[in-house]
Amino acid sequence: MANTKLLMTFPISATSHTLAEYRARGGYGSLEKALRQMTPQEVVAEVTASGIQGRGGAAFPMGRKWAVVHPNDGQPHYLCANADEGEPGTFKDRWILEYAPHLLLESMLIASYALQVRNAFVYIRGEFDQPYRRLAGALEEAYEAGYFGAGILGTDFACDLVIYRGAGSYVCGEASALITSIEGKRGYPRNRPPRLTVRGLYQKPTVINNVETLANIAWIIAHGGEAFTKVGTAKDPGTRLISISGHIENPGVYEIEIGYPFARFIYEDCGGVLGGRPLKGIIPGGISTKVLTAKEIEPLTLDNQSLASAGSSMGSGGMIVIADGTCMVRLLQVLLRFYHHESCGQCTPCREGMGWLHRIIDRIVAGEGRPEDIERLYQISAWNDGTTICGMGDAAGYATSGILNKFRDEFEYFIEHKRSRFNGTLECLKST
Ligand SMILES: Cc1cc2nc3c(=O)[nH]c(=O)nc-3n(C[C@H](O)[C@H](O)[C@H](O)COP(=O)(O)O)c2cc1C
Ligand code: SF4
């Protein structure tokens, strides 16, 4: 992947997924350090001191999540890496699974040692073929080398890891649905409390972290939690993988230091908008984060605090670039088709609301929109806010109201003229 800039995670190469190369670069040294020189409590303390926040979307501090799991409570504990990566526009965990699978495995071993986990899981998106094969190959190598199983590195630490393949449901990336899916049941999210760290997989304390969040642990143990805080911003330390796609000259996966200037990233690192067209907007962190206009991104830096000041967030790190000339009505239609299709149907506002939103937007695009449709879209989006079991209902509402707030005139034009204001302009984009 030519478009990847690396600061901390791992320099990739054609063979960077192999154990030989990983070890030649010092791989599994952090595991050795943790097992031989640190107690599990010291590992937890380093991770907490690093201040790392989750990279899966909600930016929850990893140390706070881990602190809920009590050592020596006489129960089994479980660890699950969330490799579902279903958020549209997001493909950065895939990069770790394909090019640095041992980084994830070593980090998960350290986390398992810290959290007293005997059985760990990776829940991987069903459509991921190459990432699955790379991860499964790496796991086999790691078992052969004695990094998994009993008596790891000659200590009394034992850990086994199972890779569980999903079946293509977006909602199974939600942590409680993921657990139900591993248990062999239908992947339905469930209400909290109890938190999953109290009652999770098989009713036992379970930590679920995103692949990228976990992959930082090897670095944190090698260099220390304090060193990690020196990178990124005070409130949001470290680096982030950003997958960028859409109307951008150099799409791909980049690693940025958190707090990196947004506009510089787009115009310098990623080569600017496709075909040199003006930028219309960016969905910064997967489709569940609110769209930002070209003007809004100018003063921003790539961190949660900065994006929150503009009403959005870093989300899952999946950036979608939208060039001038793109019809936002049609774009919202694509998003709502997705949400409608993926709603698991448990909550009435989500099940009915997604269908309703989808039908209204389809009608507008078919040239049969009604003046009251815009207010209706707002209203249905608001009904989802805080009334559903999982965050998908909220997310669909935010995505809808976010686009309507900033591009309402395009919806009004479409309804009045029964066609897009941008008919034909996307064709120009295709030919650039
Ligand atoms: C509908 C839905 C889908 C989600 N999909 C993913 C996903 O694919 N990968 C992921 O890491 N987190 C996903 N999440 C967030 C997880 O529930 C959870 O917060 C995350 O895995 C925790 O890891 P982190 O603390 O390391 O970010 C999703 C959440 C929702 C509501
Ligand atoms: S919000 Fe939607 S996807 Fe989430 S549990 Fe409810 S119905 Fe299912």
Q: Is residue 4 part of a domain?
A: no
Amino acid at 123: Y
Residue range of the domain that includes 217: 19-229
Q: Which ligand is nearest to the CA of 397?
A: 2
Low-confidence ranges of the chain (pLDDT < 70): 1-10, 424-432
pTM of the model: 0.96
For ligand 2, whether the C-beta of 47 sits within 6 Å is: no
CA distance 145 to 393: 45
| CATH assignment at residue 347 | 1.20.1440.230
Instruction: Tell whether ligand 1 has an atom less than 6 A from the beta carbon of residue 173.
Output: yes
288 ligand 1 Cβ < 6 A: no
Residue 177 CA: nearest ligand 2 atom is 5
Residues paired with residue 204 on neighbouring β-strands, in sequence order: none
Do 385 and 301 share a structural domain?
Answer: no
Shared domain check, 304 and 364: no
Q: Closest Cα partner for 243 from 89, 53, 12?
A: 89
> Quick check: CB of 169 below 6 Å from ligand 1?
no
Give the residue among 250, 280, 255, 252 at the shortest CA–CA distance from 267.
250
Report yes or no on 301 lying in a domain.
yes
172 and 118 together in one domain: yes
Closest ligand to the CA of 355: 2
Do 246 and 90 contact (CB within 8 A), yes or no? no
Nearest atom in ligand 2 to the alpha carbon of residue 388 is 1
Q: Phi and psi at residue 348, in whole multiples of 5°?
A: -60, -45
Residue nearest to ligand 1 atom 12, measured at CA: 56
Supply angle C-alpha 424, 425, 430, rounded to 5: 100
Same domain, 196 and 319: no
* Residue 17, ligand 1, Cβ within 6 A: no
> Which residue among 289, 307, 323 closes a domain?
323
Q: Is 217 exposed, middle or buried (0-12, 13-18, 19+ CB in 10 A)?
A: buried
CA dist., res. 252 & res. 313, Å (int): 20
Amino acid at residue number 336:
L
Q: How many CB atoms lie within 10 A of CB 15?
A: 11
Q: Is residue 68 part of a domain?
A: yes
Q: Does residue 2 fall inside a structural domain?
A: no
Ligand 2 atom having least distance to the Cα of 345: 7
C-alpha 289 – ligand 1 centre gap (Å): 13
Same domain, 164 and 273: no
β-strands 318-323, 279-283 pairing: antiparallel
- pLDDT at residue 432, as a whole number: 38
Closest Cα to atom 6 of ligand 2: 347
Whether 6 is covered by a domain: the verdict is no
Q: Name the nearest CA neighbour of 400 among 416, 414, 388, 384.
A: 384
CATH number of the CATH domain containing 248? 3.10.20.600
Q: How far apart are CA 68 and CA 198, in angstroms?
A: 7
CA distance 29 to 31: 5
User: What is d(CA 50, CA 230) in angstroms, rounded to the nearest whole number?
Assistant: 9
Domain assignment of residue 9, yes or no: no
Does residue 359 belong to any structural domain of this protein?
yes
* Candidate from 174, 201, 335, 346 with most ligand 1 atoms within 8 A of CB, to mutate: 174
- 3-state SS, one letter per residue, for the chain: CCCCCCCCCCCCCCCCCCHHHHHHCCCCHHHHHHHHHCCHHHHHHHHHHHCCECCCCCCCEHHHHHHCCCCCCCCCEEEEEEECCCCCCCCCHHHHHHHCHHHHHHHHHHHHHHHCEEEEEEEECCCCCHHHHHHHHHHHHHHHCCCCECCHHHCCCCEEEEEEECCCCHHHHCHHHHHHHHCCCCCCCCCCCCCCCCCCHHHCCEEEEEHHHHHCHHHHHHHCHHHHHCCECCCCECEEEEEEEECECCCEEEEEECCEEHHHHHHHHCCCEHHHCCEEEEECCCCCCCCEEHHHHCCCEECHHHHHHCCCCCCCCEEEEEECCCCHHHHHHHHHHHHHHHCCCCCHHHHHHHHHHHHHHHHHHCCCCCCCHHHHHHHHHHHHCCCCCCHHHHHHHHHHHHHHHHHHHHHHHHHHHCCCCCCCHHHHHHHC
pLDDT of res. 423: 75
Is ligand 1 within 6 A of the CB of residue 210? yes
Question: Does 345 contact ligand 2 (Cβ within 6 A)?
Answer: yes
* 125-to-109, 166, 252, 325 alpha-carbon distances in Å: 21, 5, 19, 33
- Into how many domains does the chain fold? 3
Neighbours of 157 (CB within 10 A): 18
CATH number at residue 149: 3.40.50.11540
Which of 229, 259, 294 terminates a domain? The answer is 229
